[in-house]
Chain A
Amino acid sequence: MSNDSVGKRVVQWFDHRLPLVTFVNHSLVEYPAPRNLSYWWTFGSLAGIVLVLQIVTGIVLAMHYTPHVDMAFVSVERIMRDVNYGWLIRYMHANGGSAFFAVVYIHIYRGLYYGSYKDPREVLWWMGLIILILMMMNAFTGYVLPWGQMSFWAATVITNLFSAIPLVGDSIVTWLWGGYAVGNPALNRFYSLHYLLPFLLVAVVFLHLWALHTFGSNNPLGIDAKGPQDQIPFHPYYTVKDLFGLGVLMIVLLAFVFFAPNFLGHPDNYIPANPLVTPAHIVPEWYFLPFYAILRSVPDKLLGVVLMFGSLAVPFLLPWLDTSKVRSATFRPIYKQVFWFLVVDGIVLGWCGSQPPEGIALILARISTAYYFLHFLVLMPLIGMIEKPRPLPTSIAEPVLKGGDAAATAPTRGRS
């Protein structure tokens, strides 16, 4: 008996009792994927990898970080100065947060464009939205930890939102703070949550993948795979493709980390938190700006809060708000245009969120907030009813093999 087969038999023995190898084989090696996935499908894997990166760098940071109002700021600076490569870990974690959102936003817009939320992937879509909400909670609690001016004031502004709830609002805020202002108890619980939420994220990511693997990936044509000729094994085709995508992502992320590590941050967060001095403009990190714009677009605090949470809630209904039977925007001439309007709308909202809520920024914020809801609540049902989709190809393999590169490589430009 050769060594090799002993090893093999051990693996088989183990796999028979706990089919871990079979599981990995099913979901990452043999897993049949549509043969025409474009690079927009890479962002899902990338998001997963960035999550792991955040957890690894975060755990190292946590070994040196002190969650106390008198020591948090200095402990982060000690990480930057005295811990070996502490600056690298900390800058990776801070910029990794931005990368996470960039990747996930692209991933979500990909889903919107190709109708990936439609039957039978509604629950998959929900899990994705829950991931987004958990990420937001996590990035918010993380941003509080270095206890700079923006940390403190962001925590104050955001927790104060709950005071808009009628009757019990103020009590809720006091309960959240563990006191009568953002202070040490608040910092401690934010730290606790910031350590907990990533592991909840991992769990929801697992459900997300479970739902995904139940029906398999959608694809740029938005039609179902009809047989083996439409599919290829995940490995080596998509493993190598995703690895290349990872290389590109790392180049972009590390370019920030090494050459502009504070570019996306706010200078005020290098000033220690001071409850007596309010910064001239309290602005959140870039990935929150669109939601911040929605929050401040109306003069009424409660309505602002409702709209902001509503903007996250409405996409949960999208699978039913979208009345079109066709998934991919490639074959939906009207929706395709409207999709790009929504992209622009998001960017405009982001800009508005970065400005003080007055003048032109406020007017634009109102228009684009209204448009955001109009898109989901009115346009999506309506367009599905009046639009005449272009004819769908009969199978994935057909345009890939016969139509040459056009369909598979540039689905957004339409097929001629």
Chain B
Amino acid sequence: MARVGHGILGLVAVAAVGFGLATTAQAAADAAQPPAQKWSFDGIFGSFDRAATQRGLQVFLEVCGNCHGLDLVAYRNLAEIGYDEDQVKAIAAQFSVEDGPDEEGEMFTREARPSDAFVSPYRNAKEAAMINGGALPPDLSLMYKARMGGADYMYALLIGYEEDTGDHGVPEGLFYNPYFPGGATAMPPPLYGDDVEYADGTEATIEQESKDVTVFLAWAAEPNLDARKRLGTKVLLFLIVLTALLYATKRKVWRDLH
């Protein structure tokens, strides 16, 4: 038994060292620490809250999508958050994309189809930067995984704008947000509350909108999270039983030696 203890302890110790190092490596930024929130997709059994994800899509389409792309997500993927084929078609059809060349060699514009990726609000990065005063609004497909703090960070950023009282030295044209590295961001406060009228009647406070769009963006970055955790619990349960049986077998095989 003591030997099992050693082995497992060793593994845990190594994992723990890895943990510690990884966190210290990343916890360095000149920005306020975003407060931890509760998310439905946290933890071993967590999953995306369907209704919140759909509300978040609405916020994204009506607000964020005017400035940000979502290149890695296609309209057809929205089936995974509960829209049927016709609804997906209708959502896609609100946007138009350039396609071609056609038989005459001309480019043409058509309605977006479910197989298209979310249509970018800009023709290219140069136009995006020009329209936003030189600051490129980043694609949001992976934002949830691309920032320390993930969902907590995005939520804090969205509700965290403060009046610059002058002592933060925020340059002209930028906005003070203590959660943004450096404190001065080129993104104007995108949400104020009542920016959308929720289809399901939920009251659109700034907190509600920010939470919902964060859930949507977490889904966009990690669309397999639900499947991953469901499969994970099964696989681990199986492995724990199997490993216990292997341990029993080992004891039995070794018994005659002692």
On A, residues with C-beta under 8 Å from B are 35, 38-40, 42, 74, 77, 80-81, 87-88, 98, 102, 105-106, 232, 236-237, 240-241, 243-245, 247-252, 254-259, 261-264, 266-268, 270-271, 280-281, 283, 286, 289, 347, 350-351, 353-356, 405, 409-410, 412
Contacts and interface: CB of A to CB of B under 8 A. Distances in A.
A254 B236 CA distance: 7
B101 interface: no
Contacts of A81: 72, 77, 223-224
Interface stretch (B25-33, B156-164, B172-180): B25-33
B130 interface: no
A349 to B, nearest CB: 11
A136 B139 CA distance: 33
B29 A280 contact: yes
Contacts of B229: 258-259
B254 interface: yes
A251 B4 contact: no
Contact of A247 (B3, B24, B145, B243): B243
A241 B21 contact: no
A355 B240 CA distance: 37
A105 B18 CA distance: 12
A247 B250 contact: no
A40 B2 CA distance: 12
B83 interface: no
Contact of A264 (B18, B28, B77): B18
A351 B26 CA distance: 12
Nearest to A263: B22
Main secondary structure on A side of the interface with B: helix
Nearest to A261: B228
Contacts of A98: 18
A266 B242 contact: no
Interface string B1-37: 1111011101110110111111011101100000000
A356 B15 CA distance: 23
A259 B7 contact: no
Contact of B72 (A77, A259, A267, A351): A77
Interface string B209-244: 000000000000101100011011101100110110
5 closest A-B pairs by CB: A258-B232, A247-B243, A39-B7, A354-B25, A270-B146
A47 B179 CA distance: 42
B28 A356 contact: yes
Contact of B15 (A42, A252, A355): A252
Interface of B: 1-4, 6-8, 10-12, 14-15, 17-22, 24-26, 28-29, 44, 72, 77, 138, 141-142, 145-148, 150, 181, 221, 223-224, 228-229, 231-233, 235-236, 239-240, 242-243, 246-247, 249-250, 253-254, 257-258
A102 B146 contact: no
A270 B138 CA distance: 12
B232 to A, nearest CB: 3
A409 B2 contact: yes
Contact of B146 (A250, A252, A259, A268): A268
A251 B243 contact: yes
26 contacts: A40-B6, A40-B7, A88-B228, A106-B10, A232-B257, A237-B257, A240-B250, A240-B254, A244-B247, A244-B249, A245-B7, A247-B243, A247-B246, A248-B8, A251-B243, A270-B146, A271-B138, A286-B17, A286-B18, A286-B25, A289-B25, A350-B17, A351-B21, A354-B25, A409-B2, A410-B2
Contacts of B145: 262, 267, 270
Contacts of B26: 266-267
A245 B242 CA distance: 12
Contacts of A262: 145
A103 to B, nearest CB: 8
B218 to A, nearest CB: 12
Contacts of A106: 10-11, 14
A38 B26 CA distance: 37
B10 to A, nearest CB: 6
Contacts of A236: 253
Contact of A350 (B11, B21, B231, B242): B21
A286 B2 contact: no
Nearest to A86: B224
B146 A354 contact: no
B24 A87 contact: no
Given A280-B28, A354-B25, A410-B2, A102 B250 contact: no
A60 B4 CA distance: 34
Please indicate which of the listed interface residues B8, B21, B236, B258 has the most CB atoms of chain A within 10 Å of its own CB.
Answer: B21
Contacts of A281: 25, 28
A351 B22 CA distance: 9
A77 B146 CA distance: 13
Contacts of A347: 17
Given A38-B6, A241-B250, A264-B22, 5 more contacts: A38-B3, A39-B6, A262-B145, A263-B22, A268-B146
A77 B17 contact: no
A39 B3 contact: yes
Nearest to A270: B146
Contacts of A77: 72, 141-142
Nearest to B138: A271
Contact of B242 (A247, A268, A354): A247
Given A255-B236, A258-B235, A258-B236, A267 B7 contact: no
Contacts of B233: 258
Contacts of B44: 259
Contacts of B18: 98, 102, 264, 286
A354 B21 contact: yes
B241 to A, nearest CB: 10
Contacts of A245: 7
Contacts of A40: 6-7, 10
A40 B18 CA distance: 19
Contacts of A289: 21, 25
A262 B150 CA distance: 11
